[in-house]
């Protein structure tokens, strides 16, 4: 007999702007709950032109105190080399999304901030305080751009920090087929934004004359205060901050659906 049960996110049409691999996972989780996801990545992840630094670092992990992965993409692009990290190396993630990616690669001893899922939160963790990191070798796997706070502060605390570029980010080279048409029919009920670059790149894909009508009025779900601020500065008028990652997005969507 057919079930009459209504899925909790039925009727929600969510535009996902993450890179392809994490976007696919987000889409699957939303679809299970009845939402209709649309994957239009506004960030593409590519290997760096020169992998010499990665090769050199991964071939010599002796004396490493800690490794920090700044994003799920950093995990994906580093661990594709099938490296086994010694158990004594401490592993850090700025939030649950990156920690989940590490778990999927078999790394479970991950430390994440207790509240602020960002560099500031990482720097509050006990094992990254000066008394523990002075003179210690710390590797930070990251993309080709981003904040320098973590590197700068760990250096100030006396650590020997090596920032390794494991991937490069780029925006779409042209507006992907179907995006403007999707926005113009006004089916989208929410846009998931998990980086400030994703916000800026999405805006750049929409002609300036159309942004107010088909883009800036859309509900945006931003996974950090900085992303929320970026969206509002660019012109979005309905921005809601969520907790980090898919869990934060889904929790907020469920809440919004109930009210």
- Is the Cα dihedral 229, 235, 237, 242 positive or negative? negative
Lowest pLDDT segment from 6-10, 78-82, 99-103, 192-196: 78-82
**Global pTM value:** 0.85
Q: Biggest alpha carbon distance in the chain? A: 67
- Is the Cα dihedral 52, 105, 24, 225 positive or negative? negative
* Domains of the chain as residue ranges with CATH: 13-43+173-258 (3.40.50.10090), 46-169 (3.40.50.10090)
pLDDT digits (tens, 9 = 90+) for 124-177: 999 999 999 999 999 999 998 778 899 999 999 999 999 999 999 999 999 999
Give the rounded percent of residues in the chain with a pLDDT score beyond 70.
98
pLDDT at 181 over 60: yes
**How far is the C-alpha of 125 from the C-alpha of 94, rounded, in Å?**
11
**How far is the C-alpha of 185 from the C-alpha of 181, rounded, in Å?**
6
Mean pLDDT, rounded, for 221-231: 96
What pLDDT is attached to residue 161?
96
pLDDT digits (tens, 9 = 90+) for 163-178: 999 999 999 999 999 9
For the CA atoms of 236, 241, 245, 248, the dihedral, rounded to the nearest 10 degrees, stands at: -130
pLDDT at 118 over 60: yes
Residue 122 main-chain phi, psi, to 5 deg: -60, -45
Q: Is 242 left (phi over 0), alpha (psi -120 to 50) or beta?
A: beta
Quick one: DSSP state of residue 5?
P
Give the rounded percent of residues in the chain with a pLDDT score beyond 90.
77
**How far is the C-alpha of 19 from the C-alpha of 42, rounded, in Å?**
7
176: closest CA among 133, 142, 205? 205
What pLDDT is attached to residue 14?
98
Res. 239 pLDDT band, cuts 50 70 90: very high
Res. 200 pLDDT band, cuts 50 70 90: very high
Output the DSSP codes for 66-115: EEEE-SHHHHHHHHTT-----TTSEEE-SSHHHHHHHHHTT---EE--SS
Q: If you average pLDDT over every residue of the chain, what do you get? A: 92
């Amino acid at each position: 007999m057919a079930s009459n049960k209504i899925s909790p996110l039925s009727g929600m049409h969510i535009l996902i702007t993450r890179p392809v691999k994490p976007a696919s996972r987000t889409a699957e989780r939303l679809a299970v709950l009845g939402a209709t996801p649309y994957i239009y990545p506004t960030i593409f992840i590519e290997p760096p032109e020169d992998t010499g630094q990665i090769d050199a670092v991964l071939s010599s992990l002796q004396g490493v105190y800690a490794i920090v992965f700044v994003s799920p993409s950093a995990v994906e692009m580093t661990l594709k080399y099938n490296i086994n990290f010694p158990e004594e190396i401490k592993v850090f993630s700025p939030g649950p999304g990156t920690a989940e990616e590490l778990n999927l690669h078999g790394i479970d001893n991950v430390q994440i901030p207790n509240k602020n899922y960002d560099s500031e939160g990482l720097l509050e963790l006990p094992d990254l305080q000066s008394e523990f990191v002075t003179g210690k070798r710390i590797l930070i796997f990251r993309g080709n751009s981003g904040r320098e706070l973590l590197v700068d502060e760990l250096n100030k605390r006396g650590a020997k920090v090596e920032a390794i570029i494991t991937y490069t980010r780029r925006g779409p080279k042209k507006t992907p087929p179907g995006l403007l048409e999707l926005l113009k029919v006004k089916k989208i009920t929410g846009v998931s934004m998990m980086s400030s670059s994703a916000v800026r790149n999405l805006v750049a894909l929409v002609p300036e004359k159309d942004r107010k009508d088909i883009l800036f009025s859309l509900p945006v779900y931003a996974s950090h205060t900085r992303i929320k601020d970026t969206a509002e500065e660019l012109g979005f008028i309905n921005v809601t901050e969520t907790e980090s990652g898919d869990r934060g997005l889904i929790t907020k969507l469920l809440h919004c659906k109930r009210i």
